[in-house]
């Protein structure tokens, strides 16, 4: 344990961000990290203040920050990085006022809680299909080996069986992607995941995913503009007609919806399942009443081990907070993982409690950029945790080693083996 205490990518910090960022929250909640040259904001009140003042803290981080990427990339890929920057600068999440409100309004209607609720039956059916496919695959393997079914027991990797395919299936449906294109979309989605990775050669697969996505969506935009359907490409195409988006912004934001909803949902499902199975008394509680507890349990999963650990802003002006002088242009990283465990807001914050209420976690952020897909993510979490509790109440962890992707932003398990029966 001799690592540089300022190394945000140290294996100890990746493995347990709660200890590292919790310590910062309790000792220096607005901390200048000299190694990465950024402010680290860890307390709940400071985080909420920061994200609710977009006039002080800009979201146009990629557009404004001219420093090289961290972690570093292959020097030969610098051109690709500039291409990625050009792409990402048009994302909705990068926009400030006055550009942001009309763009957000144009897509917001598609994602309201009421609108998303109509997707619940589709989500429920997709979850059932994925879990049943897993059962029948096991049955087939058992009969091929001449093995008897041992009381319906089995094992699976939650990530591969449910958490990864579910969000892509839902987003494919929302994009109006026909069945025969689903695999192509999955392939592109997997490449887009490199946006949050740390490998030095990550720019190549990422750019392949971005180019592939733009090429796939482009011909659909014109079609949907003339013949709108109940999908979000139609929504974006209509907004282009109204002059709210350029064509490039339509393509970029269609891709954004794919990768913003992909890894985040994967992490909600994996991290939530892990938390539930590590707390057998809480899992038993959920299994006893899954219909009524799925909603609060999902909120607690979101709070306890959030899909996104942290995200960023850039100071739009000089600003002082608790005696610290933040300068215009300074990079800011705000840590939801530690704010969600702030003892001033959450009693007994390190306790996982599936009936915790109220639960004002900040896992979807706050303010004008509050996660557009929050209602959909909630429904996906609720339906997965409910289905697991109803179908596999004897579910248990099938490993004691948990490895995470070395990302500062995402809390992404590499796999989650479980067993039952």
Partner 1 sequence: MGVGRDVTRPLRITVDHRCCVGNAQCVNLAGGVFRHNANVQSEVFDPAGAPEAVILKAARFCPTGAIRVEDATTGQVLFP
Question: Which residues are at the interface with partner 1 (CB under 8 A)?
Answer: 52-53, 101, 104-105, 108-109, 111-114, 358, 360, 364-368, 370-372, 374-375
Asked if 245 contacts 105 with a C-beta cutoff of 8 angstroms, the reply is no
State in angstroms the smallest separation of the CB of 130 from partner 1: 27
State in angstroms the smallest separation of the CB of 148 from partner 1: 49
Q: How many other C-beta atoms lie within 10 A of the C-beta of residue 18? A: 18
State in angstroms the smallest separation of the CB of 390 from partner 1: 26
Nearer to partner 1, 156 or 371 (CB): 371
Q: Which residue is listed with tokens 């739009």? A: 316
Q: Which two tokens stand for residue 139?
A: 């049955």
Tell me the H-state helices in 90-202: 100-108, 113-117, 120-144, 158, 165-175, 182-192
CA 232, distance to chain mean position in Å, is: 19
Nearer to partner 1, 48 or 195 (CB): 48
Which of 127, 188, 189, 116 lies closest to 377 in space, CA to CA? 116
State in angstroms the smallest separation of the CB of 147 from partner 1: 49
State in angstroms the smallest separation of the CB of 110 from partner 1: 11
Q: Which two tokens stand for residue 399?
A: 């490993």
Q: Which residue is listed with tokens 């020097």? A: 75
Nearer to partner 1, 274 or 376 (CB): 376
Q: How many other C-beta atoms lie within 10 A of the C-beta of residue 316? A: 18
Nearer to partner 1, 35 or 108 (CB): 108
State in angstroms the smallest separation of the CB of 127 from partner 1: 23
Query: What is the Cα gyration radius of the chain?
Result: 22
State in angstroms the smallest separation of the CB of 264 from partner 1: 15
Nearer to partner 1, 238 or 368 (CB): 368
Asked if 30 contacts 46 with a C-beta cutoff of 8 angstroms, the reply is yes
Asked if 282 contacts 276 with a C-beta cutoff of 8 angstroms, the reply is yes
Nearer to partner 1, 10 or 374 (CB): 374
Nearer to partner 1, 2 or 118 (CB): 118
């Amino acid at each position: 344990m001799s690592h540089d205490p300022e190394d945000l990518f140290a294996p100890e910090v990746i493995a347990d961000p709660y200890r590292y960022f919790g310590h910062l929250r309790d000792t220096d909640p607005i901390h200048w990290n000299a190694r990465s040259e950024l402010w680290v904001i860890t307390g709940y009140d400071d985080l909420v203040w920061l994200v609710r003042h977009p006039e002080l803290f800009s979201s146009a981080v990629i557009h404004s920050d001219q420093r090289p990427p961290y972690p570093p990339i292959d020097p030969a890929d610098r051109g690709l990085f500039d291409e990625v920057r050009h792409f990402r600068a048009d994302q909705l999440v990068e926009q400030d006022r006055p550009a942001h409100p009309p763009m957000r309004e144009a897509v917001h209607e598609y994602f309201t809680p009421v609108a998303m609720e109509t997707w619940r039956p589709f989500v429920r059916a997709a979850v059932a299909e994925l879990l049943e496919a897993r059962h029948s695959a096991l049955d087939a393997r058992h009969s091929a080996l001449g093995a008897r079914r041992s009381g319906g027991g089995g094992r699976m990797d939650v990530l591969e069986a449910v958490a990864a395919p579910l969000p892509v299936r839902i987003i494919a449906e929302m994009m109006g992607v026909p069945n025969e294109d689903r695999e192509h979309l999955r392939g592109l989605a997997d490449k887009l995941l490199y946006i949050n990775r740390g490998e030095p050669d990550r720019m190549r697969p990422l750019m392949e995913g971005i180019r592939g996505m733009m090429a796939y969506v482009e011909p659909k935009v014109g079609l949907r503009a003339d013949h709108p359907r109940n999908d979000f490409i139609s929504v974006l195409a209509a907004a282009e007609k109204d002059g709210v988006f350029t064509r490039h912004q339509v393509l970029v934001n269609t891709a954004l919806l794919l990768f913003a909803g992909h890894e985040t949902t994967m992490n909600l499902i994996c991290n939530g399942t892990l938390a539930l199975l590590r707390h057998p008394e809480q899992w038993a509680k959920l299994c006893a009443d899954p219909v009524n507890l799925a909603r609060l349990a999902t909120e607690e999963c979101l709070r306890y081990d959030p899909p996104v650990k942290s995200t960023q802003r850039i100071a739009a002006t000089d600003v002082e907070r608790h005696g610290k002088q933040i300068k215009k242009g300074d990079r800011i990283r705000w840590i939801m993982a530690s704010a969600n465990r702030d003892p001033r807001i959450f009693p007994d914050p390190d306790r996982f409690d599936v009936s915790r209420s109220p639960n004002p976690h900040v896992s979807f952020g706050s303010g004008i950029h509050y996660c557009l897909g929050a209602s959909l993510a909630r429904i996906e979490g609720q339906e997965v945790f409910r289905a697991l509790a109803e179908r596999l109440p004897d579910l248990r962890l099938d490993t004691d080693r948990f490895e995470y992707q070395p990302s500062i932003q995402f809390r992404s398990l590499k796999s989650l083996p479980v067993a039952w029966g």
